[in-house]
Amino acid sequence: MSTSPIVLHIDNVSKTFAGLLALSNVNLDIREGETHAIIGPNGAGKSTLLNVCIGGLEPSRGKVLLAGTELTGRRPHEINQLGVARVFQTPEIFGDLTVIENVMMAILSHRDGAFRPRFVTRFDQQSDIGRTAGAALEKLGLGDHLHHIAGALSRGDKRRLELVMSVVQEPKLLLLDEPTAGMARADTNATIEILRQFKDAGMTIVIIEHDMHVVFSLADRITVLAGGRVIAQGLPEDIKGNPKVVEAYLGEEQV
C-alpha cells in the first residue's frame, strides 16, 4: 500500500437525479503520483462522479477534498484554480485561435481565473507566457503547428493540444474523461505515450476510459463502478481476474 499523500479524497458521495440513484456511497482516495483508472459499463456513474469532482454537479450526500481542501460547493473555475485540470471526451479548444494562442490562453486563464480570448493577442509570443507555451508544444510534438488555426487540426492533434493546455496549468490533479474516444489506434497510442510522459513526471491522474488497452497500459490502480456503486478496487492484475468485474464489464471488453 502506497504511503504517498492523498491528493483527492471522495468521501461517501451519492448523487440522485429525480429520484434515480446515479452514485451510491462512493469512497475513493487518489494518491500523489498515481494514475488511477475508473472503469465500468455505460450508465455506471463514471462521468457523474467526475462532474461532482470538478463542481459541475453537487453531490446529494458526501464530499470531495483536494489535498485537504473541500471542493464541494465550489464553482468549476474555483476548483481549476485550486489545481484541478480536466479533459472531456470532446476536445474543448478555441478553434479560431492559433495553437500557441490556445496554450497561452490556458496559462492566462489559470493565472487570472477566466478565459478571455480577446486579450491573448496582447501578449507577445516572445514573452514569458509565449515562451512557456511554445516549449510545452514542442515537448509534446506540436512544435510544427504553433501558428496553425486550432480548429483545422486533426482529432488526435486537437486532443494533444488540449493535453498541453492542461499540463501548462501545473495541476495537482488531471482528470480525463475518455481521452481516446473516437480515435484511430495510431492516435490512441500517441495519446498513451503523452500520458506516460505526464505519469513519469509524477503527475497525479484520474482517467475514465472504455478502451482497456489504454487502461492497462497506464493505470497503477483501478476502481470499477456498476450501477453507481464501487464493486471492485485494486491493482490491474487483481481487477482482470475479479469475477464480479468480469461479469459486470470486462467479459464484454477486449482486455
**Domain residue spans of the chain:** 6-83+171-252, 94-155
pTM for the model: 0.88
Higher pLDDT, 88 or 134: 134
CATH architecture of 6-83+171-252: 3-Layer(aba) Sandwich (3.40)
**Alpha-carbon gap, residue 103 to 114, rounded angstroms:** 14
What's the whole-number average pLDDT of the chain?
88
- Pairing label, strands 20-31, 205-208: unpaired
Contacts of 157 (CB under 8 A, 6+ apart): 142, 145
CB-based contact 164:136 (threshold 8 Å)? yes
Contacts of 29 (CB under 8 A, 6+ apart): 6, 8, 9, 10
pLDDT tens profile 169-215: 889 999 999 998 888 899 999 999 999 999 999 999 999 998 999 99
pLDDT tens profile 121-140: 555 555 788 889 999 999 99
Cell of 8: 483527492
Residue type, 63: K
Whole-number pLDDT of residue 124: 57
Contacts of 42 (CB under 8 A, 6+ apart): none
pLDDT tens profile 16-37: 998 899 999 999 999 999 999 9
